Structure 1
Amino acid sequence: MRILLICLGLLLVSGCAYRAEEAPAGSWQAQKQQLAGLQNWQLAARLGIITPEERGSLSLFWRQDSGDYRLNLTNVVGKRVFDLSRRSGRIELIDSEGRRHTAANAQALVYELTGWNLPVEQLADWIKGLPGDADTVSFDADGRPARVQSHGWQLSYLGYTQIDGLWLPSRLELSHDTTNLKLAVNRWELNP
């Protein structure tokens, strides 16, 4: 009985972690329209940022609601690094001191305040595994995006997981000039 309980416990724990999984060949092409139509989602992830000036590991929470979003970054002790949001086209960033900043461009605002080059607007699609029409894409053996080149950014999709019937990225790396980002998704939630 004890061995059965231990095995059951191990199965439950292993089922909680996302890992790269096999997908049927061509599945991404079949789900591309579903991904494009997916407008309401949220995720929790670990984000590694490496620039010439610094390197760090952050917790990321992203909630997308159609064209609006909220992107929250906290450090390892849970202190807010910044909270970035777009509501009705208005972009606002609340910094670690609680000061509010607004701008017309989220990427420029983040860069101005942190020195980090984060492709915020494109990331909303890239994070779902949905490259843009003008992006250069190579696919893995299962027909899913493996590498993407766009606007000077290089993306590598290193793992996928199936959530509610959709294959979504679980790990990706992005690089642009001297900025390297590593994203490991802990939890996806669709239509929250």
Structure 2
Amino acid sequence: MRFLLLSLVLALSGCAYRAVEAPAGSWQAQQAALAKLQQWELSARLGIITPDERGSLSLFWRQNQDDYRLNLTNVVGKRVFDLNRQRRQIVLTDSEGRRHSADSARDLVFRLTGWDLPVEQLSNWIKGLPGEADRVEYDDDGRPKILVSNDWRLEYLGYTRIDGLWLPSRLTLTHADTTLRLAISQWELL
């Protein structure tokens, strides 16, 4: 009887272990792969709409674990700003070459530009990876379609497949009176 009970417990624990593994191609597998994706870069067009301005910029973003570099340039290639996080230090270099630092990238960008950019969350959101507290609506293929977090609303309008992962190619972010439209032209997974 003990042998039978022990066999049943081992069999059930084996089934539970296998059930945790997500089938290839599923959203659970995609989510796990996106969470592990810590080194990447992208190039994109960024449209910013606020009550005071409307503009189109070029965005280059390189992510390496928790460190990143975001470079924004205008249509003629002039630097708008270069935002770096390296070893927990956040530095923004403005269009005049002046360096500014702060503890929060979002606060720093807002203070210098007036743009409310959720920089800390964007590294996950831009990959299509919602946070645990985010409310998410999925498309027919199980990918995030609409994400709501801290008064931000993201709409994922297109995806592209890169190295077996579905990564966003177009998205719109809105918060209060700020709208960001992002059209990603190139992803590179490092």
What is the TM-score normalised by the length of structure 1? Answer: 0.86
Structure 2 CA distance for aligned equivalents of residues 167 and 155 of structure 1: 17
Q: Residue type of the partner of 2:87?
A: S
For 1:190 and 1:61, how far apart are their aligned partners in 2?
Answer: 14
User: Shift in Å at residue 31 of structure 1?
Assistant: 1.0
Secondary structure of the structure 2 residue equivalent to 1:97: coil
Q: How far does the alpha carbon of each residue in 1:122-146 deviate from its partner, in whole angstroms, 9 at most, with x for none?
A: 0000000001000000000000000
- 1:136 has 2:142 as partner: no
Give SS of 1:86's match. strand
2:72 is aligned to 73
- Counterpart of 1:181 in structure 2 is 180
Q: More relative contact order in 1 or in 2 (CA 8 Å, sep 6+)? A: 1
Q: Secondary structure at the match of 2:27?
A: helix
Within-5 A mapping of 1:121-132:
121-132=120-131
The residue identity in structure 1 corresponding to 2:140 is A
Q: What is the aligned-residue identity percentage?
A: 69
Amino acid at match of 1:160: Y
Query: Partner letter of residue 81 of structure 1?
Result: V
Superposition map of 1:10-21 within 5 A? none
* Rg larger for: 2
SS for the counterpart of 1:53 is: coil
Structure 1 outlier segments of 4+, above 6 Å: none
Separation in structure 2 between the aligned mates of residue 129 and residue 66 of structure 1, nearest angstrom: 17
Between Structure 1 and Structure 2, how many residues are aligned?
167
Q: Secondary structure at the match of 2:111?
A: helix
* Alignment correspondent of 1:17: none
Q: Quote the RMSD (CA, aligned, Å).
A: 1.1
Deviation, 1:30, is 2.1
Q: Which residue of 1 aligns with 2:170?
A: 171
- TM-score for both structures, normalised by structure 2: 0.86
